[in-house]
Amino acid sequence: MAAIELRNVTKKFATADGGTYTALKDLSLTVEEGQFCAVVGPTGCGKSTTLTLVSGLERPSRGEAFVHGQEVKGIETGTGFVFQQDAVFPWRSVLDNVAAGPIYRGKDRSEATAQARDWLRRVGLSGFEDRFPHQLSGGMRKRVALAQTLINEPRILLMDEPFSALDVQTRAIMSTELLHLWDQTKPAVVFVTHDLEEAIALADKVVVLTAGPGTVKAEFEIDLPRPRVVQEIRFDPRFIELYEQIWEALRAEVAEAYDRTTRTAVAS
Ligand SMILES: Nc1ncnc2c1ncn2[C@@H]1O[C@H](COP(=O)(O)OP(=O)(O)OP(=O)(O)O)[C@@H](O)[C@H]1O
């Protein structure tokens, strides 16, 4: 049984003028247990909307979303999220931020705190337990966000451009760290990104969406060996070969989306 399955999903949104806007059309996607799937596509093609259907934040207008064989009908408890914006509580210490999930789920404080210390060690933040989020760098805050999510041991991990606010070097380091952490608990991952290099470096499978309404244009198995060091894998000849193949599929969609925005800009 697949960890995640979207079966011919269409998602329409109501527009301000009383009409509807089709964000996704007939999209089918399967992510196996323990598989790392990256979703790429031009801006506005429906990548984030795809995640909202898996998480249960939104329901499909047509088609079905399944997690572990069960139809998604609301927000799933076994699902973790990491977004571009950090969802940390600014008024809580790093330790309390990470311990919040287990406490919320009924663990007693001392057990939750011990578990949070362990996760902070795993993400390289031992010694920073008493700091507040504003006293950390962007990369460190991202590590807190990862610990905060992974401590709940989600079987499904949804990531929406989680590293896009980071500088290039920190981003590559965080990506390698993410792979290391993922390897410890192996959730099924859907990782949305604009960055094809990042997608190939991380994933087992890269899914290319069409310019909106988004549907799957092509899927590519990434047969690069693991463990991977994201900073170095891009020099591998197989990486370059995969990049060329996938870019071939993505290029037309990016051009189409760009044309549409410039046409709209000229018309208005
Ligand atoms: N709640 C909503 N109501 C109306 N329209 C929406 C809503 N959510 C998304 N859309 C529209 O659906 C389309 C797809 O949006 P979505 O955010 O999924 O795209 P995306 O591929 O993640 O974009 P980007 O790469 O720019 O982040 C966009 O045109 C967006 O304006």
CATH of the domain at 251: 3.40.50.300
pLDDT at residue 264 tops 80 = no
| 196 lies in some domain | yes
Find the angle CA(214)-CA(215)-CA(216) to the nearest 5 degrees: 130
Choose which residue among 13, 27, 216 to substitute to test ligand 1 binding: the one with the highest number of ligand atoms within 8 A of its C-beta.
13
| 257 lies in some domain | yes
Per-residue pLDDT band for 98 (boundaries 50, 70, 90) equals very high
| 43 lies in some domain | yes
Q: Give the integer Cα–Cα distance in Å for 144 and 100.
A: 12
C-beta 34 within 6 A of ligand 1? no
What are the angstrom distances between the C-alpha of 13 and each of 55, 60, 75?
Answer: 17, 10, 19
Q: What is the pLDDT of residues 25-69, one digit of tens each?
A: 999 999 999 999 999 999 999 999 999 999 999 999 999 999 999
Choose the weakest-confidence range: 12-21, 149-158, 159-168: 159-168
| 180 lies in some domain | yes
| 138 lies in some domain | no
C-beta 13 within 6 A of ligand 1? yes
Closest residue CA from atom 28 of ligand 1: 44
Q: What is the pLDDT of residues 162-200, one digit of tens each?
A: 988 888 888 898 899 999 999 999 999 999 999 999 999
| 230 lies in some domain | yes
Residues 6+ apart with CB under 8 A from 239: 200, 201, 224, 233
Tokens 């795809």 — which residue? 50
122 in Cβ contact with 181 (< 8 Å): yes
Q: Give the integer Cα–Cα distance in Å for 205 and 199.
A: 9
Q: Give the integer Cα–Cα distance in Å for 16 and 210.
A: 25
Q: Residue 268: its pLDDT value, please?
A: 58
- Residue range 12-23: mean pLDDT, rounded: 94
Predicted complex ipTM exceeds 0.85: yes
pLDDT at residue 258 tops 80 = yes
Residues of the domain holding 205: 4-78+154-267
What is the pTM (predicted TM-score) of this model?
0.93
**Distance between Cα 71 and ligand 1 center (Å):** 23
C-beta 44 within 6 A of ligand 1? yes
Mean pLDDT estimate for the chain? 93
Closest residue CA from atom 23 of ligand 1: 44
Number of structural domains in the chain:
1
| 175 lies in some domain | yes
| 96 lies in some domain | no
Q: Residue 265: its pLDDT value, please?
A: 62
Largest CA distance in the chain: 61
Q: Residue 34: its pLDDT value, please?
A: 97
**Per the omega criterion (within 30 degrees of 0), is the bond before 227 cis?**
yes
**Distance between Cα 22 and ligand 1 center (Å):** 10
